[in-house]
A = this chain, B = another copy of it.
Amino acid sequence: MDNFEFYNPTRIIFGKDTIGSLASLVPEGTRILLLYGGGSVKTNGVYDQVRTALAGRELAEFSGVEANPSYETCMAAVETIRQERAGFILALGGGSVFDAAKFIAAAARYSGGDPWKICVDRKPLKAALPWGGVLTLPATASEMNSGSVISRTSTREKLFFFDPLVFPIFSILDPQATYGLPSRQTANGVIDAFVHVTERYLTFPNESFLVDRLAESILGTLMELGPKVLLAPRDYPIRANLMWAATLAHNGLLDAGMPQDWASHMIGHELTALYGVDHARSLAVVLPALLRHQIVHKREKLVQFGQQILGIREGSAERRSEGVVEGIENFFRAMGAGTRLSDYGIPASDCRTIAERAVLHQGVLGERKDLDAAAVEEILRLAARP
């Protein structure tokens, strides 16, 4: 169990009909920038609830934040903040809008030159605008962490930063706001949350007995309720448990004392940057291949996964760990996600290029920091099999 620091000052307001509490959460005396994406907040009722809750307050708007939010869009929002003299950002949407809010909050107060350096240099921020959000898509836990992933369209880069100054002041999570999500987005959210947990859990044992149990709690909940929510999208308890699971999957709780991998995310980011693959689906491709490549190094935790979550208690450790990888791949498929490069039209001949970019951007990968470009290419070739 490694040393750790835990700090998470975000206030969560969770439950039915909680959006009305906005009036007491958003600061008075400053203009609020409503930040959202393509308009789904207008069809799911969230936008109207927010306008009602904030009636009489000075509001400005910036819409059009895309999936995998771009530096270019964020900088346009920064310009709106300057013109409108907004002092608080209210993000309405999913992880993309929340990640964008963080970059915008940092960039609006950045004094170090080109704000893209926030992602490139990852130096501690000196200031950021305060912000909060109303979440409509559980997936990234951006609603309760200090991390953000931003894409630069012109260079096809997808980079991240994190800083304690960009924790949301508050996030409102009303599971009812997720009832109308397209099933593809619901499924993506479940997969994303699942892989946030495996990035910590599927490494090697380090006597973090308790945090292992917490991770298994979240993994088990996602595997049990994920397929169910596709059949019962308006079931409140299922939606509520999945929403809170996605937040806890990546709010720092599972970092406590645990080794961390993140290779699936880093390789997956390249699939998104180069081919526009949904973030979650890039993970559904990379994780099974990574686990097969690292099956010896990750064996102990794979066997533990099998025993604690899938009830696999018999057979050799080799066979049991193979069964777990198959189980995870089947789970992704049950969530409707293809798990091979070919499912997304990505040719096997691109494996080397993707691998080299991943290592160029993020360095050698994995919990042992030993996955170089050659290893990443081998992983991708496993994902290129039919």
Docked CA distance A42–B236 (Å):
53
Binary contact track A219-253/B, C-beta < 8 Å → 1, others 0: 01100110000000000110011001100100001
A116 CB, nearest partner CB in chain B, Å: 30
Docked CA distance A10–B8 (Å):
8
A218 at the interface (CB under 8 A from B): yes
- The reply to whether B217 and A244 form a contact with Cβ atoms under 8 Å apart is no
Q: Which chain B positions have C-beta within 8 A of A218?
A: 210, 213
- Asked whether A221 and B210 contact (CB < 8 A) given A2-B15, A7-B11, A244-B256, the answer is yes
Interface residues of A in 1-42 (CB under 8 A from B): 1-16, 18
Interface range, A side: 35 or more
Kindly report which residue of chain B lies nearest to residue A6, judged by CB atoms: B12
A306 at the interface (CB under 8 A from B): no
A212 CB, nearest partner CB in chain B, Å: 8
- The reply to whether B1 and A240 form a contact with Cβ atoms under 8 Å apart is yes
Docked CA distance A1–B174 (Å):
12
Kindly report which residue of chain B lies nearest to residue A9, judged by CB atoms: B9
A359 CB, nearest partner CB in chain B, Å: 31
Instruction: Give me the interface of A with B, judged by CB distance under 8 Å.
Output: 1-16, 18, 207-211, 213-214, 216-218, 220-221, 224-225, 236-237, 240-241, 244-245, 248, 253, 256-257
> Could you list 17 further interchain pairs (A-B, Cβ under 8 angstroms) beyond the known A14-B256, A210-B241?
A1-B237, A1-B241, A1-B244, A3-B16, A4-B14, A5-B11, A207-B237, A209-B221, A209-B224, A209-B225, A210-B221, A213-B220, A214-B217, A217-B217, A240-B257, A244-B256, A244-B257
